[in-house]
Amino acid sequence: MNQYNQIKSQCFEANMQLPELNLVVYTFGNVSAVDRDKGVFAIKPSGVPYASLKVEDIVVVDFDNKVVDGKMRPSSDTKTHAFLYKHWENIGGICHTHSTYAVSWAQAQMDIPIFGTTHADHLTADIPCAAPMADSLIQGDYEHNTGQQILDCFEKKGLSPEEVEMVLIGNHGPFAWGKDASKAVYNSKVLEEIARMAYLTLQINPKAPRLKESLIRKHYERKHGKDAYYGQGC
């Protein structure tokens, strides 16, 4: 039995959620799933339509981007995934899409303000938008530098990747991550919905106020932390 079957299956299932959730069109987007013990991650092959994607097509690479299992070329975003896995040891899955509303905020080069409790249910900060990449970095190792771009954004804004599991890349699009590939996809869908709601909010009231701190804390803490009481628990 192939030693990578489990993460390949996880990766495949997560990728197949993207078209089901209307997060991608054609071959856009990708999801990866990591195996920390083996020091590898599985990722969608480059340019393969979701309708024809199979488990055996999934490519496994190490954190230095060397293919260790699979016959296809891995996603063009592989180096970005590898960079984030190397630097953020607590994440287990990464998702990149070109979903409409999230991309629109990225193209506007704007953080998504925290307007409502749907946003606060998932994070207490505005969703950050990293500044567009400098020309020198674009001309260099672009996908690797995209990972650096995300890391720099989080360091500059003082954000934790465990608390803020999503980001926009200026003029590019969204990345999201989580404890596994499925949670990364979940966070990508949440990001898209928050982006849509924020856009509509500003259409109704261009001067809409930011959600007040007491509501931010209440909604976040009832789902996260030691005193969380949302859901059925363990």
Per residue in 186-228, pLDDT (tens digit) is 999 999 999 999 999 999 999 999 999 999 999 999 988 777 8
Report the percent of the chain where pLDDT is more than 90.
94
In this prediction, residue 230 carries a pLDDT of 76
Indicate whether 233 pLDDT > 70.
no
Indicate whether 148 pLDDT > 90.
yes
In this prediction, residue 160 carries a pLDDT of 97
Q: Which one, of 84, 93, 65, lies nearest residue 184 by Cα?
A: 93
| Pairing between β-strand 40-43 and β-strand 173-178 as defined by DSSP bridges | unpaired
Catalytically annotated residue among 62, 69, 121, 180: 121
Under DSSP, is residue 163 helix (H, G, I), strand (E, B) or coil? coil
Q: Which one, of 115, 134, 133, lies nearest residue 125 by Cα?
A: 115
In this prediction, residue 23 carries a pLDDT of 97
Q: Which one, of 188, 199, 146, 151, lies nearest residue 166 by Cα?
A: 188
In this prediction, residue 31 carries a pLDDT of 98
Q: Is 44 left (phi over 0), alpha (psi -120 to 50) or beta?
A: beta
Clarify whether 85 is annotated catalytic. no
Q: What does CATH list as the number for 5-221? A: 3.40.225.10
Convert the pLDDT of each residue in 47-67 to its tens digit: 999 999 999 999 999 999 999
| Pairing between β-strand 173-178 and β-strand 59-62 as defined by DSSP bridges | unpaired
- The domain limits of the chain are 5-221
Clarify whether 62 is annotated catalytic. no
Q: Is 171 left (phi over 0), alpha (psi -120 to 50) or beta?
A: left
| Residue whose structure tokens are 């999503």 | 166
Q: At what angle do helices 78-87 and 142-157 cross, to 10 degrees?
A: 40
Indicate whether 1 pLDDT > 70.
no
With bands split at pLDDT 50, 70 and 90, how would you rate the model's confidence at 2?
A: confident
Residue range 134-159: mean pLDDT, rounded: 96
Catalytically annotated residue among 26, 141, 152, 230: 230
Structure tokens at 214: 């007491």
